[in-house]
Structure 1
Amino acid sequence: MASSAATAPSKAQASLQIAAAWSGAWERWLEAERHQLVLWLPIMLGAGIATWFVLPDATGWTAALLGSAGIAGSALALARGGRCGVTIAAGAIAFAIGLALVWWRAEAVRAPVLARPAIVELVGRVTRVQAQPARDLTRVWIAVERWDGQVRDDVPRRVRVNVADDDLPTGVVEQSRVRVRARLMPPAPPAVPGAYDFARVAWFEGLGATGRAIDIAVIARAGSDREGIRARLTRHIEAQLPGSAGGIAAALATGDTGAIADEDAEAMRRAGLAHLLSVSGLHITAAVGIVMALALRLLALSPRLALTGRVPLLAGGAAALAAIGYTWLTGAEVPTIRSCVAALLVLAALAMGREAVTLRLVAAGALIVLVAWPQALVSASFQLSFAAVTAIVALHEHPRARALFLSREEAWWRRGLREGGSLLTTGLLVELALMPIAVFHFHKAGVYGAFANIVAIPLTTFVVMPVEAGALMLDAVRLGAPLWWVAGQTLRLLLWIAHAVASAPGSVAALPAMPRGAFALMIAGGLWVALWRTRARWAGLVPVFVGACWTIATPTPDLIVTGDGRHLAWRGEDGSLALLRDRAGDYTRDTLAENGGFDGEMAALSETRSARCNQDLCWATRQIGERRVTLLATRSGYLVPAGAFIDLCRRVDIVVSERRVPRRCRARWLTLDRASLRRTGGVAVSFEDASITTVRVAKDAHPWITRSGGEYRPAYPERAPARGRNAADHRRGWRDRAAPSHLRDGNI
């Protein structure tokens, strides 16, 4: 007894000593990283925002808020004057603020959303006009005043309609009043798992419906019949440079990409040059640099100003005005505003005599954007731009990289090699940093993008943009033609580079949808490596490696079904994808191919060896190890005799139909019809591990989902099965129309 009583205090004392040693180690590490701690505030704010998007309902959001508040309180209570407790408390508070901020934002922008597809007539005022010359249509945003002749509060207040250029009347400009008859539909949710969620984007933009105009008429013209400066400048540039070259030039000046041909835009994406088409940090930096360089030289001509030392300050002010004006001219979109804020912070740092480009500057820009637009966190543009900037700044802040790439007095060829090595190293690092984001959002990763950008970025920054700016200024005196010729030749060279890189073997790696957990691990690990400075930073490579292995190990989907049930992609034994319907549109084909991790032309299912199809049904088989998976899918709007259809249902593993199937039609494994797809949305199925992924998550209560009663709304109106005399003839002859024998006879 005495021995036990003696050993108990010693064990407790040993535990306290171990805890004290661990606490001391954490404190020493945080002390060494004290200058980096502030960089994690926007990270924790973003973590709270991301948690709101991941958790399904208010119960989870409230629990996360209470949990973070409890962690903050406990950390402060146990802090005892050290950094560890205060750091944990600050991170927990930032996490809670981020979650509460995006929750409040989602409720603050709440607006009516169209419940189902409908043909309506409305009167409203045009808020935005965006021409799409490459597609022969114009997109018109309308603030609705009256709906079907009535003023109602339960209908969308803001809609977007596409108008064919041939049907667009003169006078449809911003602030004009129009009457529109259009076929509208609710903002579409992701067609399949991993696809673009337009419904979420539309919710935060207050957009309640989209569609195509059947008829549009101008009721009252705007105060001036003249177009806005942005539209006029776009038309002027496109008139000087026809085709995609003019579209790219217009994109650099006004942010309007409508004139770029689809094949050229796709080549730019595959070559890793798509960032040149959206006004972002590169373009703002070029505009600020050009204006500041000109202002410095012009102001230096005044001896009085030069002697006072105010030239850099005045030049910085001119550059700030240029950044703000350029942002306004290009539409003041969130990515452009984000870049403008960063440019203004750089100019402010220069004015105060501080180091201009640092990770603290990047963190400050991210914090401003997340507070103003918390929903921007989940957008690809936010993630790509901040990941690229963080990687570049973190690399060049590292002492070894700074010593290697710092300019110095040396021979021209050594300087060229050093600058080329700096560009190549930076490009490769940026490609590595952006690869997880590109795979997560676009399911593709460019392989040669770093090499293409080494030429494309200097070409755009130092040749195209200055020449285009000079041409626009000389156009005031009708002398800009020579510079427009130079700009055109340079842009055609840029397009040639894009097509050459895009068509190179292995230029694009296509991967299926990345698991969100793997994506989170890779982002967290990358931030850990970039933001810390001690050797502990390399521990971040572990989650990056785990996330990459998880992504690679995730089986590709063998069956992808869209949320309306009309389209599906079936993977053959050779890894290729085939489409159920022969006449699927380009958007459907691209969506199914991207989310299936397939980079190629998809054949029709009826033309493959593993399938047998007639006009109404398709039967497909796939050998998986020792198992054979069978699929039955409807591919027309006609009713198939119920008895024969039910018999086929019982003999297959999976049934897919765009309409409601009979109750007795139940496949051995999975039945996807109109009723089930309305609850789940699009579905992706992997046969290797028998996993099923759906667009909709059970009890998901995010506002863009619950707006329509919690049901999935297909992008196309539900087509009723054909009836009447023709349908009866069709049903009598469905077995005899070139159907495979196993479908005609009911035998499998």
Structure 2
Amino acid sequence: MIDGLLLQRGHLFPWTPVCFAIGIGWYFSLLSEPSPWLLCAAFTSGILILLFSRFLGVLGGPLACGTALVLLGLALAGARTHQVTGPVLAFRYYGPIEGRIVNIDRSASDAIRLTLDRVVLERMARERTPERVRVSLHGDVPFDPEPGAVIMTTGHLSAPNGPVEPMGFDFRRNAWFQRIGAVGYTRVPVLYLERDSGALPIFSARMDLASHVRAAMPGESGAFAAAIMTGDRSGMGQDTLQALRDSNLAHLLAISGLHMGLLAGFLFAGLRILFLLAPPLALRWPIKKLAALGALFGAAGYLALSGGNIATERAFIMVAVALFAAVLDRRVLSLRAVAMAALIVLVLWPEALLGPGFQMSFAATTALVAVFALAREVPERWRAKGWLAPVLAVCLSSFVAGAATAPIGMAHFNQMSHYGLLANLVSVPLMGLVVMPAAVLAAILMPFGLDWIALWPMRLGLDWILGVAHSVASWDGAVGYVATPLPVVLPLLTLGALFIILWQGRSRWLGVLSMIAAAVVWQQSARPLVLISQDGGLVGVMTNSGRALSKSRGAGFVAQNWLENDGDGAVQSEAAARWRTQGGQGIARYDLGGIELAHVQGKRALKQFKGCDKGDIVVASTTLPASLPCLVLDPKKLSATGAMALIDGSEGLQILTVRDVSGHRLWHGSGQAPAAPNPPQYVLIRPTSLP
């Protein structure tokens, strides 16, 4: 073992963010919030272990450092959670809403959505008012949002929802780290109380630039151009967004490592050529380092102009590390540089570890650096020559990045594009050679009114990409659907792949065992037999033909997520047609092979409900009498437990709730019931057969 560790000397730094990420993952997996004293103890212990690790020898030193980094990851994740602490709305609110517009985007239903700060709610003390709220504008609302303006409307607000099912994505946690304490909607006009006061100049400049680009380049191409130049996707149509997802080209829309890298690379090459045109400067100054610094300032400007979300900030850090490496005469692309960028991101935003953006970008970058490092060892006689070299490099890059990110994308988004590699091969080169250089030139020429010169070729490139997206998405079998795996799958897969890439020596191939275990667990991951929404408004039963839903309309967000997590491409109306029996208006019944499941929908249905027998299950969207002999799941009970799942186990049907899985954490908000022991795991009669 000592010989194996000696072989790792000089190659251990890339393991630093891995150990740090293990600590962060440990923190987010806890069922109860660790006390501040425990977090302080973990941080102090980690620092002390790091200080004394140098005295522990070849074997003990690296193990001690790894342990210290795990403890530091745990402590800093907890500190970040406390840092963003803010009020969360504890009840359903309807009334006046006042605030300043700090972000504008669109919801999944294509409604304009405003994020407000400096929030004022009627009859609510300042200390109880959420720091930020997000409001969707529904109905016919003729309103052109103005960045930085103070507005007022009347609408509905509530706390951010928890997961739609146990082990599902926690929307509550995501909103917590964005400091959003309430979400809601309005159907009435929005009024200006104060126009933009100039307090948010970058946001205003960003939205003005997006409007200018869309006006100069009408249609979806202009909306695409505005999205990649400013991060504003509010002009993108849902059909176009879906086509980009189905063709695996949606990453071209997000301002991520690709865009930041292309922009910085173009600026670096352009500045270096410009400096070479001035011989006195080129002979006396280190023009490579000057070009790197110039590209860094350009990337920083792009970061500010694009809205500065976490994905863009992560991309900027990766580019900044690479450019600083050029300034310091170090290798620009290396596993150490990638590890440094990952460590910086995790220290600043530990919650980024849980998001697909962080996972996919660093998976792609790590795989590309590792593969091209191996490619450098290929003998010269076997390397491609002439025009074939860049073509093979593009093909290899697309294949490696696609293979590295495919499992992560499938796990998070429940779909895979069968022709995504082909779509990327004919689109990504155009993005780098035409679109991004034209975007930079348009920004430079815009103050002189000459940006149309650059926007013309940019439009041609974007028209091509959008044409590819729509064409590929329309092909038969373009999209495959994948069921959500158990939470342990991605960590197993990632650790196995990292062990193969980072570990030195033949024992690295032991990582294959972890990856095989992940594949086996994924293959055997079974979806719940029954799912019940948190408000009792929707029930889904798994059948041989897919999940059957208890109603064809309403609770559309929950229905969409359930079907996506099942790996089911059906829409809600199709899934509702699978429901076997109805028990009257507003009452849906299903025979689970020995257990009758009834869904009572609304007060009218409650009047028609004739009762239930012992051993049955009744789910209701309104409160039911407590005296019923069956298992009653109404909003009062479900609000304390969250959404429920019925799992078909060896001993019978077992109830698993969101509360069982997520425990009691800070992001559950002030409206969450006090911490309590987990509810009993009811064991019901096991179904004899599935309809």
Give the structure-1-normalised TM-score.
Answer: 0.82
Q: Within the alignment, does 1:529 sit opposite 2:505 as a pair?
A: no
Q: 2:688 aligns to what?
A: none
Q: 1:11 aligns to what?
A: none
Q: 2:265 aligns to what?
A: 289
Deviates more, 1:43-52 or 1:581-590: 581-590
Equivalent residue letter for 1:334? I
- Which of 99, 107, 127 is the aligned partner of 1:153? 127
Taking the aligned partners of 1:280 and 1:356, their CA distance within structure 2 comes to: 18
Kindly state the Cα deviation for residue 629 of structure 1 after the two structures are TM-superposed: 5.5
Q: 2:321 aligns to what?
A: 345
Q: 1:601 aligns to what?
A: 571
Kindly state the Cα deviation for residue 424 of structure 1 after the two structures are TM-superposed: 3.4
Q: 1:517 aligns to what?
A: 488
Please give the secondary structure, in 2, of the residue aligned with 1:646: coil
Kindly state the Cα deviation for residue 266 of structure 1 after the two structures are TM-superposed: 1.7
Equivalent residue letter for 1:190? P
Q: Within the alignment, does 1:656 sit opposite 2:619 as a pair?
A: yes
Kindly state the Cα deviation for residue 411 of structure 1 after the two structures are TM-superposed: 4.7
Please give the secondary structure, in 1, of the residue aligned with 2:504: coil
- Which of 438, 453, 462 is the aligned partner of 1:491? 462
Taking the aligned partners of 2:319 and 2:568, their CA distance within structure 1 comes to: 39
Distance 1:606 1:228, change over 3 A: closer
Q: 2:21 aligns to what?
A: 46
1:340-489 equivalences in 2 (<5 Å): 340-398=316-374, 401-404=375-378, 411-412=385-386, 415-416=387-388, 418-474=389-445, 476-481=447-452, 483-489=454-460
Distance 1:66 1:351, change over 3 A: closer
- Which of 610, 619, 630 is the aligned partner of 1:645? 610
Taking the aligned partners of 2:370 and 2:36, their CA distance within structure 1 comes to: 33
Query: Structure 1: 5+ residue runs without aligned partners?
Result: 1-25, 713-748
- Which of 551, 573, 597 is the aligned partner of 1:631? 597
- Which of 193, 205, 215 is the aligned partner of 2:166? 193
What count of residue pairs does the alignment treat as equivalent? Answer: 670
Kindly state the Cα deviation for residue 389 of structure 1 after the two structures are TM-superposed: 0.8
Taking the aligned partners of 1:29 and 1:546, their CA distance within structure 2 comes to: 24
Taking the aligned partners of 2:295 and 2:49, their CA distance within structure 1 comes to: 48
Instruction: For residues 509-538 of structure 1, give each alpha carbon's deviation from its aligned partner in whole angstroms, at most 9, with x where no partner exists.
Output: 323332112222112112111211311111
- Which of 549, 552, 558 is the aligned partner of 1:588? 558
1:243-322 equivalences in 2 (<5 Å): 243-322=219-298
Deviates more, 1:505-514 or 1:108-117: 505-514
Please give the secondary structure, in 2, of the residue aligned with 1:36: coil
Distance 1:98 1:406, change over 3 A: farther
Distance 1:230 1:80, change over 3 A: closer
Kindly state the Cα deviation for residue 606 of structure 1 after the two structures are TM-superposed: 6.1
Equivalent residue letter for 2:247? A
Distance 1:301 1:79, change over 3 A: closer
Conservation of the 8 A alpha-carbon contact between 1:132 and 1:138:
yes
Kindly state the Cα deviation for residue 87 of structure 1 after the two structures are TM-superposed: 0.8
Equivalent residue letter for 1:302? A
Taking the aligned partners of 1:106 and 1:134, their CA distance within structure 2 comes to: 27
Please give the secondary structure, in 2, of the residue aligned with 1:208: strand
Distance 1:350 1:603, change over 3 A: same
Conservation of the 8 A alpha-carbon contact between 2:394 and 2:425:
yes
Please give the secondary structure, in 2, of the residue aligned with 1:116: coil
Distance 1:154 1:263, change over 3 A: same
Conservation of the 8 A alpha-carbon contact between 1:179 and 1:216:
yes
Deviates more, 1:281-290 or 1:242-251: 242-251
Equivalent residue letter for 2:623? R
1:669-688 equivalences in 2 (<5 Å): 671-687=632-648
Kindly state the Cα deviation for residue 391 of structure 1 after the two structures are TM-superposed: 1.2
1:684-695 equivalences in 2 (<5 Å): 684-687=645-648, 690=653, 692-695=655-658
Q: Within the alignment, does 1:101 sit opposite 2:101 as a pair?
A: no
Instruction: For residues 676-723 of structure 1, give each alpha carbon's deviation from its aligned partner in whole angstroms, at most 9, with x where no partner exists.
Output: 3223212233447645443222682210115213389xxxxxxxxxxx
Please give the secondary structure, in 2, of the residue aligned with 1:600: coil
Equivalent residue letter for 2:116? I
Equivalent residue letter for 1:289? G
Conservation of the 8 A alpha-carbon contact between 1:439 and 1:514:
no
Taking the aligned partners of 1:241 and 1:588, their CA distance within structure 2 comes to: 37
Q: 1:236 aligns to what?
A: 212
Instruction: For residues 631-653 of structure 1, give each alpha carbon's deviation from its aligned partner in whole angstroms, at most 9, with x where no partner exists.
Output: 221233325358x6323x4474x
Taking the aligned partners of 1:259 and 1:333, their CA distance within structure 2 comes to: 18
Give the structure-2-normalised TM-score.
Answer: 0.88
- Which of 578, 585, 595 is the aligned partner of 2:548? 578
Distance 1:604 1:336, change over 3 A: closer
Taking the aligned partners of 1:562 and 1:240, their CA distance within structure 2 comes to: 46
Distance 1:194 1:450, change over 3 A: farther
Aligned-pair identity in percent equals 28
Taking the aligned partners of 1:162 and 1:407, their CA distance within structure 2 comes to: 61
Taking the aligned partners of 1:612 and 1:367, their CA distance within structure 2 comes to: 55
Structure number with larger C-alpha Rg: 1
Q: Within the alignment, does 1:665 sit opposite 2:640 as a pair?
A: no
- Which of 548, 559, 576 is the aligned partner of 2:519? 548
Please give the secondary structure, in 2, of the residue aligned with 1:236: helix
Please give the secondary structure, in 1, of the residue aligned with 2:176: helix
Deviates more, 1:41-50 or 1:633-642: 633-642
Taking the aligned partners of 1:484 and 1:407, their CA distance within structure 2 comes to: 43
Q: 1:566 aligns to what?
A: 537
Conservation of the 8 A alpha-carbon contact between 1:560 and 1:682:
yes
Please give the secondary structure, in 2, of the residue aligned with 1:403: coil
Taking the aligned partners of 2:378 and 2:119, their CA distance within structure 1 comes to: 62
Please give the secondary structure, in 2, of the residue aligned with 1:516: coil
Deviates more, 1:519-528 or 1:683-692: 683-692
Kindly state the Cα deviation for residue 448 of structure 1 after the two structures are TM-superposed: 3.2
Q: Within the alignment, does 1:111 sit opposite 2:97 as a pair?
A: no
Instruction: For residues 128-154 of structure 1, give each alpha carbon's deviation from its aligned partner in whole angstroms, at most 9, with x where no partner exists.
Output: 141549977433332235432665312
Conservation of the 8 A alpha-carbon contact between 1:182 and 1:215:
no
Q: 1:184 aligns to what?
A: 157
Distance 1:34 1:168, change over 3 A: farther
Kindly state the Cα deviation for residue 329 of structure 1 after the two structures are TM-superposed: 0.3
Conservation of the 8 A alpha-carbon contact between 1:570 and 1:579:
yes
Q: 1:121 aligns to what?
A: 96
Please give the secondary structure, in 2, of the residue aligned with 1:284: helix
Conservation of the 8 A alpha-carbon contact between 2:136 and 2:185:
yes
Deviates more, 1:75-84 or 1:530-539: 75-84
Please give the secondary structure, in 1, of the residue aligned with 2:163: coil
